[in-house]
Structure 1
Amino acid sequence: MRNFFFILFFASQFISAQDIVIKSLQTYLDDKEVLVPIIDYNQEYEQTFTINFDVATQNSPNLIIVFKFCNQNWEPYNSIFLTDPTYNTEYNLWLYELPSNVKEAQYHYSGQFPNNNIRFPFSGKWKFFIMESYNRDNVIAEGKFVVVHKSKIRLRPSITRSRAENEIPGNSELGRTFILKTDFVLPDSLYPNLVKGMEIIENGKIEYPYFINRDFNTENKFVDWNGSNRFSFLIRDLKPGNNYRTLNLRNKSKYQYPSGDAQFGGIETSNFYKFNRDDNQGASLINDYNSDDAQYLNIRFRIRPPEEVMAPVFLVGSFNNWIVSPEYEMYDKDGLLSLIVQLKRGIYDYQYVTAEYKNDKISNIDWNILEGNFWETDNIYHIFLYYSNPDKGGFEEIIAYKKISSRGT
């Protein structure tokens, strides 16, 4: 591990030529910070999703948000039939001034979509891009969300406890797994041969989905099709993990401006044998922008991992969209792994993971070795059914969605 120490600012920030920094970027369903931004038009009420962020800059900028429809891999489509240019840009964002005691940012934005200017005509994955109105080539920040249009398909998922069948774990605790099975009947208006597969996202970890390919069965993932319109998708060996660690920065006497330790004791250890209490399902609950308690703190995370853990350790959480990245690698200081992150007052879920570098890329992420693996963990699994729609030049469409909790399994 690298032997130096530094301060890490909020993840997913991009600095433009005008030195504009987007901080504390959040996306969530309606006005509920704990809900993943998945707009489901099958619900009885009209759903929206919220974009919140702070802006650090010397002068009030003229920002816009551009929305783009994407394929399954979050790559935007360039086809004119899929870009909807008339209703894909939110202009003249209204920025509110932050309280004078907030020194780390000057403005705040909050908006809900769709609205009169923005619509989402296609069912699938979407991205938004924050940029200056006069410079669309420079993306300051970006985010992701999912839109699901009305569907006649009823997904029927079920979760059962199991033991790992295709690996020999070093500890029996790591052998605890779930089997997730999803049945459905395809309506006559759709073609069975165009069913592409099923994607499963655990909590808010949208960067690390499981995908069951309709045309490629493995020992852990396979599809049963009756040759007509009945399908059953199954995935084995889903490790439940543990409920997340939680950091509550709202206590001003405990976490005094401008810095502090993540946990009151200062040093954290492995939770491999410790089941955590309820969390926020991987979300952030950030203080209201207009509050005098909306300051930013430099928070030091420190962990002393077991001696047998030799791989690099990374901090991951709701503050960096659960992305394991080099910027969040813990740094060795006298045998103690440390990292300082600048966070706005609020409540955050997080955890520690190990991973390896392979060809300068992060691989072999282990979510359990420092956090444990318990059947009692309350995970939300978001299940998406993909269809290769041949219309408008062809696109990957989500034709059904369902979420299921592992609580009580």
Structure 2
Amino acid sequence: MLNKLYSIIFLLVIPTIGFSQVEEINPPDFIKTITFRSNTTEGQLPILKLGETLNLEFDALTGDEEDFYYKIEHFNFDWTPSNLMKSEYLSGIDGQRIRDYTNSLNTFQIYSHYDLTIPNQQTRRLLKSGNYLITIYDSYDEIMFSRKFMIFEDLLGVGVQVKRTRNLNNIQEKQIVNLKINSNNLNLVNPKQTVKTLIIQNNNLNATISNLKPQFTIGNELIYRYDDEASFWGGNEYLYFETKEIRGANIAVQYVDLRDLYHSYLFNQINRSKRPYTYFPDINGNFVITALNVDDVDSRADYSIVHFSLNNELLLDKKIYVYGNYNNYALEPANEMIYNSEKQVYECVFPLKQGFYNYKYVAVDANGNLDEGAISGNFWQTENNYKVLVYYRDLGARFDRLIGFGETNSEIITN
């Protein structure tokens, strides 16, 4: 009887352990500038069409020409492991060394630039659509970092429209996303159960709304016209700076100093949450590596120590971070701002490769709750990018296919 009881407990516990959601692993301090390139989507979030090339690049600032390897895994819609064998979603093999790398040349910061392209000679093709995780590890099998990416089949028409919220309590601060999914010739059986959606704001997997159910069907169209359930805080336009001329002041750089490396001091910023909305173009939190008079930014662009400064009262119950896609929107000690009581400003310092960067200041409370608008404010007029992914698992299927992709911008927001 006791053995039988243990068996029941084992069966109940093991599935819970085995099917936890996977999380991305952030890199150590010496891994910088993790960059994806794609022909399909805007920004650093890789959403690829089935058959498209995946390019992952990063720098190792050790200068030791270390060996790095990669592993690719397939996941369900909810980022639990799928039931597919590796041979079912990958043609060839992974676990291979990244062979394409170059050492920096004529830079103060010594680094090696690594470039992984899939398909390649060993990993010939990714065969299925859906969610993937690529993990980079070193010769000692220690994980350096991991990143999520998605591969879609272009089987559906996905219409996306951004509107101002109809909720009067947040009408000045929120945007809602309406969807219209055209199934074309596909027979979507029981779509309320088999079709799942994911809405992503500004390529940030921390700012998503998932698994909305279609409210009604018109012909072969699934209609989603939620308000509160599909609403995002509007946020504010991202701040930005440029260091493509590393020896002199550029856009939003007050001055430059040379020590062991170049130091770029940004202009002091202020709290924008109580100020009127002002439009200025941004790239929605992303970054672009660029440098003047350099023919190969991969290995000849240098690093500078960037000094951030925010004029804000001391918040005893919150932490403030520099937030952006430059580090995959991570909240880490390296980008946490420290209050300087003498200057009465928050300050933060860390290295970035030459380029054009978007960022904003965000607050996190003692419970770990992120508030993007605490320093920047929330405005319904803000220009944001929205991506929509549509997943489908037919009855009896073993994994979630990603069968549709849509994208829009709130520049064309309507009431």
Partner of 1:354: 363
Structure 2: unaligned runs, 5 residues or longer:
1-24, 250-255
Write the distance in 2 (CA, Å) between the matches of 1:178 and 1:324: 25
- Is 1:37 matched with 2:46? yes
Deviations 1:269-307 (A, max 9, x none): 112325251112222111368458622122121112257
Please give the secondary structure, in 2, of the residue aligned with 1:57.
coil
- Give 2:181's match in structure 1, choosing from 179, 184, 193: 184
Partner of 1:312: 319
C-alpha distance 308-140 of structure 1, shift in aligned 2 (>3 A): closer
One-letter identity of the residue aligned with 2:102: Y
How far has the Cα of 1:40 moved from its partner?
2.4
How far has the Cα of 1:316 moved from its partner?
0.8
One-letter identity of the residue aligned with 2:321: F
- Is 1:341 matched with 2:344? no
One-letter identity of the residue aligned with 1:164: N
How far has the Cα of 1:326 moved from its partner?
4.9
- Give 1:280's match in structure 2, choosing from 283, 289, 299: 283
- Is 1:108 matched with 2:95? no
Asked if 1 retains the 8 angstrom alpha-carbon contact of 2:40 and 2:48, the reply is no
Asked if 2 retains the 8 angstrom alpha-carbon contact of 1:259 and 1:298, the reply is yes
- Is 1:50 matched with 2:55? yes
How far has the Cα of 1:114 moved from its partner?
3.2
How far has the Cα of 1:382 moved from its partner?
0.3
- Is 1:14 matched with 2:28? yes
Asked if 2 retains the 8 angstrom alpha-carbon contact of 1:39 and 1:47, the reply is yes
How far has the Cα of 1:183 moved from its partner?
1.7
Please give the secondary structure, in 2, of the residue aligned with 1:109.
strand
Write the distance in 2 (CA, Å) between the matches of 1:387 and 1:122: 13
Please give the secondary structure, in 1, of the residue aligned with 2:157.
coil
Partner of 1:323: 330
Please give the secondary structure, in 2, of the residue aligned with 1:407.
helix
Please give the secondary structure, in 2, of the residue aligned with 1:312.
strand
Partner of 1:403: 407
- Is 1:388 matched with 2:389? no
Asked if 2 retains the 8 angstrom alpha-carbon contact of 1:30 and 1:50, the reply is no
Please give the secondary structure, in 2, of the residue aligned with 1:72.
coil
Write the distance in 2 (CA, Å) between the matches of 1:306 and 1:386: 45
C-alpha distance 163-191 of structure 1, shift in aligned 2 (>3 A): closer
Equivalent positions of 1:87-102 (< 5 A) are 87-102=93-108
Query: If the length of structure 2 is used for normalisation, what is the TM-score?
Result: 0.77
Asked if 2 retains the 8 angstrom alpha-carbon contact of 1:104 and 1:296, the reply is no
Write the distance in 2 (CA, Å) between the matches of 1:329 and 1:250: 25
How far has the Cα of 1:202 moved from its partner?
0.9
C-alpha distance 369-14 of structure 1, shift in aligned 2 (>3 A): closer
One-letter identity of the residue aligned with 1:148: F
Asked if 1 retains the 8 angstrom alpha-carbon contact of 2:334 and 2:350, the reply is no
C-alpha distance 259-336 of structure 1, shift in aligned 2 (>3 A): farther
Deviations 1:100-159 (A, max 9, x none): 434342x11223333453422121221211123x54x421122222110131x2122222
Partner of 1:201: 200
- Is the deviation greater in 338-347 or in 92-101? 92-101
Deviations 1:56-114 (A, max 9, x none): 33532232222222223444446426553734455442211111434342x11223333
How far has the Cα of 1:227 moved from its partner?
9.7
C-alpha distance 314-204 of structure 1, shift in aligned 2 (>3 A): same
- Is 1:28 matched with 2:37? yes
Please give the secondary structure, in 2, of the residue aligned with 1:319.
helix
One-letter identity of the residue aligned with 1:202: Q
How far has the Cα of 1:205 moved from its partner?
0.6
How far has the Cα of 1:31 moved from its partner?
10
- % identity of equivalent residues: 18
Please give the secondary structure, in 2, of the residue aligned with 1:213.
coil
Partner of 1:218: none
One-letter identity of the residue aligned with 2:160: P
Please give the secondary structure, in 1, of the residue aligned with 2:92.
helix
Partner of 2:305: 298
Partner of 2:92: 86
Equivalent positions of 1:228-267 (< 5 A) are 230-236=221-227, 237-251=231-245, 252-254=247-249, 255-257=256-258, 258-263=261-266, 265=267, 267=268
- Give 2:148's match in structure 1, choosing from 135, 144, 147: 144
- Give 1:63's match in structure 2, choosing from 63, 68, 88: 68
Larger helix percent: 2
Q: How many residues align?
A: 365
Asked if 2 retains the 8 angstrom alpha-carbon contact of 1:376 and 1:408, the reply is no
Deviations 1:343-397 (A, max 9, x none): 1111111001112132xxx22x2112321333332211000112234566x2222
How far has the Cα of 1:408 moved from its partner?
2.5
Deviations 1:219-246 (A, max 9, x none): xxxx313498542223433222222111
Asked which structure has the greater CA Rg, the reply is: 2
Asked if 1 retains the 8 angstrom alpha-carbon contact of 2:91 and 2:127, the reply is no
C-alpha distance 404-336 of structure 1, shift in aligned 2 (>3 A): same
C-alpha distance 331-213 of structure 1, shift in aligned 2 (>3 A): same
One-letter identity of the residue aligned with 2:26: S
